[in-house]
Chain A
Amino acid sequence: MSPRPFWSPLWAGIALGVALFLTFVLTGHGLGASGFFTRFTAEVGQWLAPELTAANRYLGDYVRGEPLQAWITWEVLGAFIGALVGALSGRRFRPQVERGPSSGVGSRLVLALIGGILTGLGARLARGCTSGLGLSGGAALAVGGFVFLICFFAAGFLFSLIVRRYWQ
């Protein structure tokens, strides 16, 4: 079965803008994602090293309650379901290691891990990620959101030059 085409960027952008606005109406804040991974890290830490996690000055606050009992957990779960429905209905569900034509599975997974580590660090430092700070902060016309977005695109272009050959 051939895949259904993607939505045009303009319509996808309008749809995302409306969804983001509805989120503000519903909750008083925007969409996010990295907060869930912070809570998940606290949960895993509680499980692997409870004393160390409870004593940690950053993660300690999260494990005083149930770290995963939060709106952002339901939101990320909803995002997973929504994307799954999108992939299945668009005939775009493919179990795979997605990579550039000249890249091997091993190198792709190493780069995914390195990219994930940098992203995890960056999101905690910035107090949010592309959706929580860039998109939602941008929509709220927050200065912080635009500082983030400018640096995000600048570093993206720069580092893309280094890893170009893995994607093309």
Chain B
Amino acid sequence: MIWPLYDSGVASGLLAGFLFGFVLENAGFGSPRKLTGQFRLEDWSVFKVMFTAVIVAALLLWLSKQFGLMGTGSYYVPTPFYVAMAVGGLLIGAGFAIGGYCPGTSVAGLAGGRIDAIVFMVGMLLGTALFAAWFGPLEDLYLATPGPQGQTLMDLTGIPEWLIILVLAAMAWGGFKLGGKLEQKLGGPYQASDLYPADNKQN
């Protein structure tokens, strides 16, 4: 068991973050028009990139455990709070559709020069402050319906990990197929040339 290294240092954060931001921007995820295109069904990049990343990382984590490089329970698995996570997911989905970003992509958006990403970030600070101010009345919802500690899909279904990953991959493949069809029909996905006019016009 040589992994994880449990390194929470500055270099570790900068390296992980650098890769994260570099990939997000190159996927086109600094652009709110491209990001929200997912919800208009004309650009399936968000679904494709997220699902692929989840499956690749899950597969590599599973392989690390098979080869004895990583122990079960050696890395963080969030404990579910079903209602709070469902409501939080709904709010972030709404915020994404309306505002054009999520927290991570707003960082990529700002790095690409977007003023609207700063305004979105100010909104997030206000939303966080509101949550803190309303923590009293919200606390019941925040703590309601906790699930088992670090509950995984294997715990929930009894299906082995490799098969869960395989089922997710099959679902992703279906999503890729369906998404590709709809993209063709609706004139997507957004290309860099659609979003970045070559004349560098100031808005």
**Do B93 and A18 have beta carbons less than 8 Å apart?**
no
**Do B85 and A144 have beta carbons less than 8 Å apart?**
yes
Tell me if B170 is interfacial: C-beta within 8 Å of chain A: no
**Do B192 and A82 have beta carbons less than 8 Å apart?**
no
Which residues of chain B are near A22, meaning CB under 8 Å?
A: 16, 19
Q: Tell me which of B45, B60, B80, B96 contacts A115 (CB under 8 A).
A: B96
**Do B111 and A87 have beta carbons less than 8 Å apart?**
yes
Distance (whole angstroms) from the CB of B36 to the closest CB of chain A: 5
**Do B24 and A83 have beta carbons less than 8 Å apart?**
yes
In whole angstroms, what is the CA distance A33 to B104 when docked?
Answer: 5
Distance (whole angstroms) from the CB of B164 to the closest CB of chain A: 6
The proximity string for B residues 115-138 relative to A, scoring 1 for CB distances below 8 Å and 0 otherwise, is: 111011111111111111101101
Q: A87-B30, A115-B101, A142-B77 are in contact. Are A152 and B116 (CB under 8 A)?
A: no
**Do B108 and A83 have beta carbons less than 8 Å apart?**
yes
**Do A159 and B192 have beta carbons less than 8 Å apart?**
no
The proximity string for A residues 105-142 relative to B, scoring 1 for CB distances below 8 Å and 0 otherwise, is: 10011011111111111111111111101110111111
In whole angstroms, what is the CA distance A18 to B15 when docked?
Answer: 13
Quick one: which of A12, A120, A123, A158 has the most chain B CB within 10 A? A120
Distance (whole angstroms) from the CB of B159 to the closest CB of chain A: 10
**Do A86 and B25 have beta carbons less than 8 Å apart?**
yes
Tell me if A38 is interfacial: C-beta within 8 Å of chain B: yes
**Do A154 and B107 have beta carbons less than 8 Å apart?**
no
**Do A151 and B123 have beta carbons less than 8 Å apart?**
no
Sort A-B residue pairs by CB-CB distance and give the 6 closest, nearest first: A115-B99, A116-B123, A120-B127, A78-B17, A126-B88, A13-B52
Give A contacts to B, CB under 8 Å. Answer: 1-7, 9-10, 12-34, 36-38, 40-41, 44-45, 56-59, 71-87, 90-100, 105, 108-109, 111-131, 133-135, 137-160, 162-164, 167-168
